[in-house]
Homo-oligomer: A and B are copies of this chain.
Amino acid sequence: MKIAILSPVAWRTPPRHYGPWEQVASNLTEGLVKEGLDVTLFATADSVTNAKLEAVISTGYEDDLQQDPKVVECLHISNLAERAAEFDLIHNHFDFLPLTYSRLISTPMVTTIHGFSSQKIIPVYKKYNSTCPYISISYADRSPELKYIANIYHGIDNANFTFNEHPDDYLLYFGRIHPDKGTAESIEIAKQSKHRLLIAGIIQDKNYFIEKVEPFLNDEIVFIGQAGPEKRNILLRNALALLHPINFQEPFGLSVAEAMLCGTPVIAFNKGSMPELIEDEKTGFLVNSVQEAVEAVSSINTINRHDCYAHASEKFSLKKMVKDYIAVYHKIFRG
């Protein structure tokens, strides 16, 4: 079974820092290789993989802002489409644009929908609803207008995260600095609960950072910028809790699963996929306000960090994800 994995080209696969779609495409690719599958990864040329790497784009368009994303995207996608006959299956992690090439090639294409940036993109998915199987990354992220062949949660490589039973005393915010992700709410929760807060992530919304984050930074509220894999593990495993007070229907929260894999409970606003990721009062708390989050922080010692680890390693293991995807591939071949 020759599989082509089509990764996005915003960032390297895996990303150096931020880049969740590329991260998941990488996790899956490496997992499939370990299972002995013949995998070719279509990604930027600076990507790192044990699969065969095929690239026509040297660097991601977010890593090198001199590039025109539209140009880079269509060169990348068409390179795979033109070589489709070399593969038995194309697994698309690259949003909707590749779908529009799918009826011009005979290799089947399965698509993991990593999220809908807007309702405006749904018409493309609807057009290919009967010919391209879709996989959701959480039930919360399913569109009622689309048919799905499976729901598969993201799987995380245990090797990158270490369990820690004895955390430090800080709270952690880990994600893009953006109103969606609730950086400002995290600061408020930390202040009210009188805990130190470390803030890690790329600044995606500069005005938000300047207005809602920067003025509140001090010895107790510390912005540490973006964190690559090693720093990420250290930050997550040593945190008392991960704060995740999101203001949008998040399709999946990679850092939520990663935190739990380190034994770190998560206090999240009860939105989007959060009830699917967190077992309330067992691996963290699902709350609806800053006030409730502050109360959750004070109850954080009621959470057994072993439970967090057990939950994450059962539900969000790389092995499980890879097994689930291989099952879907076989289902597609059986027609």
Q: How far is the CB of A165 from chain B (nearest CB, A)?
A: 48
Q: Considering the complex, which residues of chain A in the window 36-76 have a beta carbon less than 8 Å from any beta carbon of chain B?
A: 66-68, 70-71, 74-75
Taken together as a complex, chains A and B put the C-alpha atoms of A182 and B71 apart, in Å, by 29
The stretch from A26-34, A98-106, A290-298, A316-324 touching chain B is A98-106
Q: How far is the CB of A146 from chain B (nearest CB, A)?
A: 15
Q: Are A120 and B71 in contact (CB under 8 A)?
A: yes
- Does A118 sit at the interface, judged by CB under 8 A? yes
Is chain A's binding surface mostly helix, strand, loop or mixed?
helix
- Count A interface residues, CB 8 Å: 24
Taken together as a complex, chains A and B put the C-alpha atoms of A27 and B67 apart, in Å, by 34
Question: Which of B66, B118, B123 meets A75, CB within 8 Å?
Answer: B123
Chain A 78-121 interface mask (CB, 8 Å, partner B; 1/0):
10011000000000000011001101110000000000001011
Residue of B nearest to A78 (CB): B100
Chain B contacts of A103 at CB under 8 A? 78, 82
Chain B contacts of A71 at CB under 8 A? 96, 120-121, 123-124
User: Which of A67, A78, A105, A124 has the largest number of chain B CB atoms within 10 A?
Assistant: A78
Taken together as a complex, chains A and B put the C-alpha atoms of A66 and B100 apart, in Å, by 21
Q: Contact residues of A with B, CB < 8 Å?
A: 66-68, 70-71, 74-75, 77-78, 81-82, 96-97, 100-101, 103-105, 118, 120-121, 123-124, 127
